[in-house]
Amino acid sequence: MALKKRSKVNAEFSMASLTDMIFLLLIFFVLNSSVVAPNSLNLKLPGTSQARLKSDSKTDDVSISRSGNFYLNGKRVSATALEEALAKKAGRSSGTLDITISPAKGTPVKHVAFVMDIAMRYQINAILAAEE
């Protein structure tokens, strides 16, 4: 009884055709990418309309302690006095008034929100300087 030899499948693979396809795809994408507009993202970068900052503008500092005490430029004031003082300064100011809100670490958010609400009511620019 004679056994037949099994014919082995040729496992060789030609990379030439694959290389040609990759090269053609590369050319296709390079040519199509030059057609796409480079300003596809309509970004407006920050800039300034004024040549320099006003040197006479002073930023007021509103500090808030952990217990809820308010300090305007280092002087302790009540909540109503703080609102009156900021309203008066906003009324006197010819331009925009800027304040810095500096809450102590662990200050309840309601006190910070109170000062930010005052700033919003009188159109005051508020900068929150929070500790980490």
Q: What's the pTM value of the predicted model, to 2 decimals?
A: 0.55
* Mean pLDDT across the chain: 81
**pLDDT (tens digit, 9 = 90+) per residue, 75-119?**
999 999 999 999 998 888 777 888 999 999 888 889 999 999 999
pLDDT at 43: 55
The answer to whether position 7 is within a domain reads no
Is the predicted pLDDT of residue 51 greater than 60, yes or no?
A: no
pLDDT at 3: 72
Residue range of the domain that includes 81: 60-128
Report the amino acid identity of residue 1: M
**Per-residue DSSP letters for 4-51?**
PPPPPPP----SHHHHHHHHHHHHHHHHHHTTS-TT-S-------SSS
Cβ-count burial 69-88 (b if 16+ within 10 Å, e if not)? ebebeeeebeeeebbebbee
Is the predicted pLDDT of residue 49 greater than 50, yes or no?
A: yes
**pLDDT (tens digit, 9 = 90+) per residue, 5-17?**
777 777 777 888 8
The answer to whether position 2 is within a domain reads no
Is the predicted pLDDT of residue 73 greater than 70, yes or no?
A: yes
The answer to whether position 75 is within a domain reads yes
Q: How many domains does the chain have?
A: 1
